[in-house]
Amino acid sequence: MATYSIYYAGISLNTHQKFTLAQAITKIHANVTGAEAYFAQVIFKELDLHDCFIGGVLLDQPHIFLSGQIRLGRSEQIRKQLLVEIEIAIQMTTKLASHQIWAYLDELAPSLMIEYGQILPSVGSDKAWFSTLPDSVQKKLAWLNS
């Protein structure tokens, strides 16, 4: 339900840092939104520093750009809390300054998203949606959520 893509330039993230960030973002998403942890995915993509520009000028210091896609229907307070907590997690893991971390959230209608072979439910209808999944998928998701 939530896809957080982390693009980073001018900084190397090792496997441990990626794991730490993925775990932190998943936990933040679940705690702040109330959604199950298995609805959050985190994707990392390293960019060449020379392929990034701000204001038409070549990037001259490390940056992380986070693009998050979440289901439509969350309050402004929840969206802001997600952004702030995720930025703090990125800062703690990477030691970058806040001005080097840019984060954006896009909201998508659940009817425009498919995961685990099913169109996604509206916010608050997760349990009914879960019950329609095949048993094998339910078992996998229960394991991911533990």
Chain centroid offset of residue 1 CA:
9
The answer to whether the beta carbons of residues 43 and 3 sit under 8 Å apart is: yes
Q: Domain map of the chain by residue range?
A: 2-145
Query: Percent of the chain having pLDDT more than 90?
Result: 88
Q: Is the pLDDT confidence value at 143 over 80?
A: yes
Instruction: Give mean pLDDT, residues 38-54.
Output: 95
* Structural contact between residues 86 and 4, judged by C-beta atoms closer than 8 angstroms: yes
Structure-token pair, residue 60: 């001259």
- Say what the pLDDT of residue 17 is: 97
**CA 137: distance to chain centroid?**
22
pLDDT in tens, 85-119: 999 999 999 999 999 999 999 999 999 999 988 99
User: What is the reported pTM?
Assistant: 0.92
Q: Residue 114 pairs with which residues in a beta bridge? A: 119
- CA dist 18 and 56 (Å) reads 29
Q: What is the mean pLDDT of the chain?
A: 95
Tens-place pLDDT, residues 51-90: 999 999 999 999 999 999 999 999 999 999 999 999 999 9
Q: What is residue 73's three-state secondary structure?
A: coil
For domain 2-145, give the fold: Macrophage Migration Inhibitory Factor (3.30.429)
